[in-house]
Structure formats: structure tokens, C-alpha cells
Amino acid sequence: MVNRMDISRLQQQSETQWVMPPTGRMRTPAILYASPELIRAMDTKVLEQLTNIAALPGIETAAFAMPDAHWGYGFPIGGVAAFDAEAGGVVSAGGVGFDISCGVRTMLTGLMAEEVRARQQKLADALFYAIPSGVGSTGAIRLTRPETDRMLVEGARWAVQRGFGLPRDLERIEHHGEMPDAALEHISEQARKRQQDEMGTLGSGNHYLEVQEVVEVFDPATAAAFGLRKGEIVVSIHCGSRGLGHQVATEYARLMLQAAHTHGIPITDPELACAPIHSREGEAYLGAMRAAANCALANRQIISSLVRDTFNRVFGKMELPLLYDVSHNICSEEEHRIGDQVKQLFVHRKGATRALGPGHASLPPEFRAIGQPVLIGGTMGTASYVLVGINANETLSFRSACHGAGRRMSRSQAAKQWQGRDVIKRLELRNILIRSASARSVAEEAPGAYKDVSDVVDVTERSRLARKVAKLAPLICIKG
């Protein structure tokens, strides 16, 4: 039975900002962005985890939860926290998660919805055949040890050099598709082994590939700059670093338990184990995490190439340019203004999206005057959204926004409540085609297992974390 959050424990600072002031060992407040309804839908463990994060050394400003927050490993999903290495700040494997650099990329097709509906069955079957999905799925690519190492250092650039996609894709990916300072010496042989046959695969759980229609435009000028037009079709890919990322997270979560004890960091929750950023263990994890992030970026790049090939077979020659690629589970070293100072901070985003505002130097030139595309995934049968970053979020969330709807029940609870085949049939009645290797996986990811993504996005906008640009509705969903 889920224990829902007691809203009376929080102080309401604005329409959507709720604060728990520091108590006990907390060094900073805990801040949630949510409506009263979304807070009451959250597990009480979200607040418990935020208070634990707020007690960690070197935390800056506050421990934050996005509107889609729910209980996770160590950090809540939807958790954001920044740490100052010069003030003894820490890095936590639980603050990044097991699927390192899990994220979403969206591609433009230029096709109108009626063109795709005319070949919907054929396209669904072709995509399901072309992109391996499900637990333990493997692809056609077999990596040698030297190729694995190149991929872990070069990320999406390695994939492009292998013929998967185009060099211009790299400009539309965070870190230009290659997270710097990856450290191969901190990737175990077991992690490498788990990935050697998994490149170009979706995996399982909440991962998906969706063919989506732009059904509503909220900001016509920004939508046009992003290449989004009502009635046109886009493709979104949601996946991460597969077995390699999971192995890295597993190994370093265990190592950090020892490191916390060695460095005298009191830990009330073993899942929140951490190490000082300026320590042997902290630097090793960051190097390994960056390599795993490059694995995820390369994986999504390969899948996008397979999608292009599939559309070319079904519809004829077409480009499918990349709109953007965002990571949801990452720790990034970033520059942030804190009062009258500029600090280098290590920002953990776990189930949260970077949302840079206009003028940021990291943005592609064509988006620099507009802001970063922020891609918000739906829940198989529900809407997805494209938002844009705004500068107001710098002081509110370290330039972060939500990443999806957020679960309201566990996978096991969902599997007890729904049957996968029934979910598929109901969605087919709405002309949404589902292709999955596992009926149980469909049941676990049933739309009713999640909060309403439209509510989450509305609160995100009202909180000034990002602004709505367009709403997407699914026509085809290939489920992991």
C-alpha cells in the first residue's frame, strides 16, 4: 500500500512551490514544484528522500523535486540537486540512477498524419522488426573490445563515423553527442561484456519508440523554429545505456557505501551512498558515468539510423532530421550563478531534463535566441510534449524541468490491475498500435499507472521551469 504525502508538512511559497525548511541534519530546504493534487499523488518517500539529500555535504541552495516526482533509488525520480566540490560536495550513483543517460530524442519526418495512417500497420510492423526491444534484447552489431572503448569515449560521434546518421545530428545532442572526460579504466570487464551485443536496442521497462502526431501548438513561433507543425508526424525514442549503464551503477553504488564510511559521511539511507567529488572514488564514478552516458548517446544514435532506414523503406527516400536529444539521468559539471557568485557545480538530474534558456552558449546557433527543446515523454497511449527552456529557471531549479508523467503505482501493482492484451486492444480502438515482445511489460506501463502528463506539464509551465510549445499524440508505440 502506497503512503501518500502529507501536504501539511510543507509550506506553500507560491501557487506551485512548496518548501520543507531545514530540520535535523538538513543543510538546505527541500523544494517541490507541484499542484496540491500532484503532491497528494506522490509517495511520502519522495519527501523523505529529499530531506536525506538536503543533508549531504556541499549541497547548494536546495534539494528539488519536479512535478512528476516519485520514489526512486536514493534520489526520487524527478530529483535535482547540485553540489559544490570546493565545499566538500559529493556525487551519488543513486542521484543519477541505474539507466545512466536514459533520455529522449525526437526526429522530424515532414509527413502528414494521414500519410502515416494509410500505412500504419505496415510501419508498426517494420519498426518492431527493425529495432530490437525487450528484456535481454540484442542487435545486429557485435562490438570488439577496441570498438567498445572507442564508443565509450566518442559516444554518438563514434556511431556517426560508423555510418549511423549524419554529422549534423551531433549539433542537436547535449554535449554534442560526446560527454567529455570519460574514463575507460573505470569501466569493468563485466560492464563491457554486457554491452557487446546490445547496441541499437531499446531494452525493456518504460523504454519506447513512438510515432507521434503534432496535435496542438501553443507557441507558433517557437514551434516553427523547432520544425513542428500541427498535423505533421515526429518520431521519439526513449532509451538509455542498457546493460553497461546498469552494471556501472550497481558497482559504484556498492563502492560508495564503503567510500561514505571511509570519508566520514553519515548515511541514513544506503541507497544514497556517495563519495566526495574530489576523492578517488568520486572521480572514478564520474569517469565511468560519463563513459556510460556516451554509450547511451551512441545507442540512441544507432536506433535513429534504423528508424530512418525503416521510414525510407516504407515511404521512400526522406531525411528525418533530428530535433534534439536530451538526457534524463545524468550528473553534469555546470556553471551557475548563486547570488553574486558564479560557481562550478555538479548537478544531479535523475528523471529530470536540462532546460537551458535563450542565450546559453551550449545551445546550437539556431536555438540560441529561443532556448533548448525540452522533450517530455508520455505514457504509452497518452500525450507527449515539447517544451522550451526559459531563463527564469536558473534560480528555481538549476535550469531543470520535468521529464515525463511520473509513476503513481509500482510496476507490480500495475501488472496486478491490468492485462497487457487488454491494454493493447483498448488502445487499438483509439487507433494507437502497440508492438511489444511482452504483454506483462505493456501491463506494467499501462497509462493508468502514471500521473496525468498534461497536469505535470501545466505545473511545470506555471512554475516557470519551461514553457509549452507543442503537444504530441501517439499513433504507434514500440514498447521495450
Residue numbers annotated as active site: 403
User: Are 75 and 214 in contact, with CB atoms under 8 Å apart?
Assistant: no
Between CA 233 and CA 240, with CA 235 as vertex, the angle to 5 degrees is 165
Instruction: Give the number of other CB atoms < 10 A from CB of residue 4.
Output: 13
- Which grid coordinates are listed for 385? 510534449
User: Are 259 and 57 in contact, with CB atoms under 8 Å apart?
Assistant: no
Strands 400-401 and 433-436: unpaired
Between CA 176 and CA 186, with CA 180 as vertex, the angle to 5 degrees is 135
User: Are 465 and 224 in contact, with CB atoms under 8 Å apart?
Assistant: no
Bridge partners (DSSP) of residue 435 are 478
Between CA 331 and CA 335, with CA 334 as vertex, the angle to 5 degrees is 160
The alpha carbon torsion through 229, 374, 358, 112 (nearest 10 deg) reads -10
What is the C-alpha R_g of the chain?
21
Q: State the SS3 of 321-369.
A: CEEEEEECEEEEEEEEEECCEEEEEEEEEECCEECCCCCCCCCCHHHCC
Residue 90's nearest CA partner among 338, 266, 240 is: 266
Residue 307's nearest CA partner among 318, 294, 296 is: 318
Q: How far apart are CA 102 and CA 240, in angstroms?
A: 4
Question: Quick one: the chain helix, strand, coil %, rounded to 5?
Answer: 40, 25, 35
User: Are 371 and 358 in contact, with CB atoms under 8 Å apart?
Assistant: yes
Question: Could you give the residue ranges of the DSSP H alpha helices within 44-144?
Answer: 44-53, 113-117, 120-130
Q: How far apart are CA 139 and CA 137, in angstroms?
A: 7
- Which grid coordinates are listed for 102? 536514459
